[in-house]
Structure 1
Amino acid sequence: MTAAPTSGDSAASSREVPRLERGTIVRAVVIAALLVVALFGVPAVATADWVTTATSVAIYAVVALGFGILYGRVGMISLGQVALLTIGCWVGARFSYATSLPFPLLLLLAGAITCGIGTLVGLPALRLSGLYLALITLMFAGATTVVLAVTDFPNGGGGFTGRSATGALTTSTPPVRRPSWADGDVAFYRYTVVVCALLFLLALVHVSGKPGRAWAAIRESEPAALAAGVNITLFKLWAFALASFVTGVAGCLLAAQVGVPRAITFQTQDSLTLAATALIGGIYSLWGAVVAGIFQQGIPFLFQAQWGIDPNIVLVIFGAGLLQVLLTAPGGLADQLPKDLARLWRLVVSRVREQADAEKRAP
């Protein structure tokens, strides 16, 4: 006869740490390797222009991440992410000019203030959805662009209001400061990659936890989620708050990267381009946001600066890519490309095996 387990044994077993699955370990190793390549490999082989572009890719990947959280996870179409990016950029610039706060605090302030504004903008989402919500957020983006143009963003003067002596930007306008130990382009690129990686980790924690499950229930069916006890109001505003926070931090990073941001940098149509690239990349995967950042910033730079092609051609490519995604690959490139590569690999392996079998059977 076997002895019954004692209370001490049961307590010890309940304290055992669950073993990680092999797939989880592999994914963690791959992500760590890619992060190392991004931090050290890219600056080692890239020119100065490509390092600046890679910094923009990381920033806009976070902006696409915010769009993916709202649309891909909750099912709310928000076209105001570029407006929130602009607000984060403005807050970072003004606090940089008006205070001597450390740069990490500037990031948190920009994220917190943008989070509050984005949550207020998200209040109509409690009663609106689909095209109506998209129009509301798009009008918010347009209004933000108009306000910045009227106030001559970021004004360049002292204090928080920022009115310079001439009331406008001049060539002597000081740039938004960067961290003292990351003032160079390469160092700031690495700083941006680390901050963006932490923002992706923050989103992953939410998506993998209770908020992610609640968002998935809301996306599938709000009545069913309500019947299951999900607080729809809370979790919708939670999604807007998270998306706005990460976008606000990205805006502060963008202000430090550009140095002296201009209102013309942020156009209302950029919200539509961001939505298209996010859909092409894949709104149901965090990797899709990285692909969207590459399409948003890397591809136009490649066309214009490297190949001398009119960057407007990129819009045609985005349109064709968006049509292809909507028709054949709703999960975007992040979902479709690995499947296509796996099919191609299986096809190549089968052909090689068939050829080997044929050679064996040959006299």
Structure 2
Amino acid sequence: MTAVPQRSSRIAVWRAEKLFTVRNVALAVALIALFTAGPLVLGAYWTRIVTVSMIFAIAAAGIALLYGRLGLVSLGQVSLIGVGGWITLRVGHATELPFELVLVVAAIGTGLIGVLVGLPALRLSGLNLAIVTLMLAGAFEVVFNVTGFPNGGDGFLGRAQGGVLQQPLPRPVLGTTDPDYFRYVLVVSILMFLVIALHLSNRPGRAWAAIRQSEAGALAAGIGTVRYRLWALAVVSATTGVAGGLLAANAGLLDPISFKASQSILLFATVLIGGAFSLLGAAIAGFLSQGLPPLLDAWGVNGNLIFVILGLGMIQAITTAPQGIAGQLKGLATRLRNRFTQGRSR
């Protein structure tokens, strides 16, 4: 009769030990420090840059999920950011809902659109899927250029016409200033990363890994490949929609020029360089895509040099570092820990 409670207590202790590892504690301390002192250390300009980098890190995490766990090459994530931003602007201007509820609506709407758009390409993979998703990104680019983004006007599109002034979308109550919005985006980004991490560490993640390893083997094991791929599309599209909503509230207005199909290719490249098999790689990819160009400008280097840097980074990632920068950092940490352990044992 006492075996079940004892087993439950052992499981609870094991989960607690797994949660409170040195790495997790260090990560928590770093995030708390970033939350409290980040804007003070970064300054006004870099606070805005890092805020946008965190937003794009959410979309990069979606790419990492599709590619790293399912082996799917998706080149349409930036377009889904635009979809999430469009829904956020339209609902935000048309209603008086709190921004948090508007984000939920954007997540649901973008998730549905992502699944519907992804259905035709559901059984594709590799180069074929990359081409199809790139074509869809081009189609979204045309739609954004034709319709524009809502800016407080009337009608379904919500566009201000003629001499009507544009109305920026107000920021959430908890993020009216740049430092406060930095912290707001940091918290939402952590929540989105946790959503993806929970999926990866539980049954969906195991099913996705089995599908990547062998779709035929997954089918033989009773895994519904279509259902789990749809699940992945829904999760990735919804979290990317949240990123679009955060981007829309950052400046209050969006421009179609920010959602070109080429930007999706750039973001995918940064995910490969940062590391497509970990969420740390997604965070690095967010900075590479949005933080590296202004950093080069600050150093007096033409920001367009990023294409050369990313090209060289892609070559290294494909040939010598398939785990990306995140994998190299993990390997370095492992070597340092082993050397420290050997030094103590002596």
Above 0.5 in TM-score? Answer: yes
**Is structure 2 residue 20 aligned with structure 1 residue 25?**
yes
Cα distance, 1:14 vs structure 2? 3.8
CA offset digits 1:52-106 (Å, max 9, x no partner): 0111111010010010111111111110101100100111111111111100011
- 2:48 counterpart of 1:55: no
**Structure 1 residue 35 displacement after superposition:** 1.2
**CA–CA separation in structure 1 for the residues paired with 2:218 and 2:337:** 41
Matched to 2:117, the amino acid is V
Q: For residues 144 and 49 of structure 1, what CA distance do their matches in structure 2 show?
A: 31
The match for 1:332 among 313, 324, 336 is 324
**Counterpart for residue 4 of structure 1:** none
Secondary structure class of the residue paired with 2:244:
helix
Query: Residue 271 of structure 1: which of 254, 258, 264 is its match?
Result: 264
- Find the counterpart in structure 2 of residue 185 from structure 1: 178
1:34 aligns with 2:26: no
| Alpha-carbon distance, 1:340 to partner | 3.3
301, 318, 324: which one aligns with 1:309: 301
Deviates more, 1:285-294 or 1:25-34: 25-34
Structure 1, unaligned runs of 5 or more: 1-6, 358-363
Partner of 1:361: none
Pick which of 121-130 and 325-334 moved more.
121-130
Q: 1:113 to 1:11 in 2, by over 3 A?
A: same
What is the DSSP-based 3-state SS (H/G/I as helix, E as strand, rest coil) of the residue aligned with 1:86? helix
Structure 2: 5+ residue runs without aligned partners? none
Highest Rg: 1 or 2? 1
Post-superposition Cα deviations, 1:270-312, rounded to whole Å, max 9, x if no partner, equal: 01100100001111111110010110111111112x1232111
1:175 aligns with 2:171: no
Aligned to 1:238: 231
- Do 2:174 and 2:184's aligned partners in 1 also have CA atoms closer than 8 Å? no
The Cα shift of 1:124 comes to: 2.6
Asked if structure 2 preserves the Cα contact closer than 8 Å seen for 1:121 and 1:137, the reply is no
Q: TM-score, normalised by structure 1?
A: 0.89
Q: Contact 1:145–1:263 (CA<8 Å) still a contact in 2?
A: yes
User: Structure 1 residue 343: deviation in Å?
Assistant: 4.0
Give the 3-state SS of the residue equivalent to 1:128 in structure 2: coil
Q: Which has the higher helix share?
A: 2
1:187, distance to aligned residue in structure 2 (A): 0.5
How many positions carry a matched residue from both structures?
A: 342
The amino acid of 1:241's aligned partner reads: A
Q: Separation in 2 of the partners of 1:312 and 1:196? A: 28
Q: CA deviation at 1:41?
A: 2.2
Identical pairs, percent:
45
From 246, 249, 264, the equivalent of 2:242 is 249
* Contact 1:58–1:193 under 8 Å retained in 2: yes
Pick one of 97, 113, 119 that aligns with 1:101: 97
TM-score norm. by structure 2 comes to 0.93
Give the conservation status (yes or no) of the 8 Å contact 1:88–1:110: yes
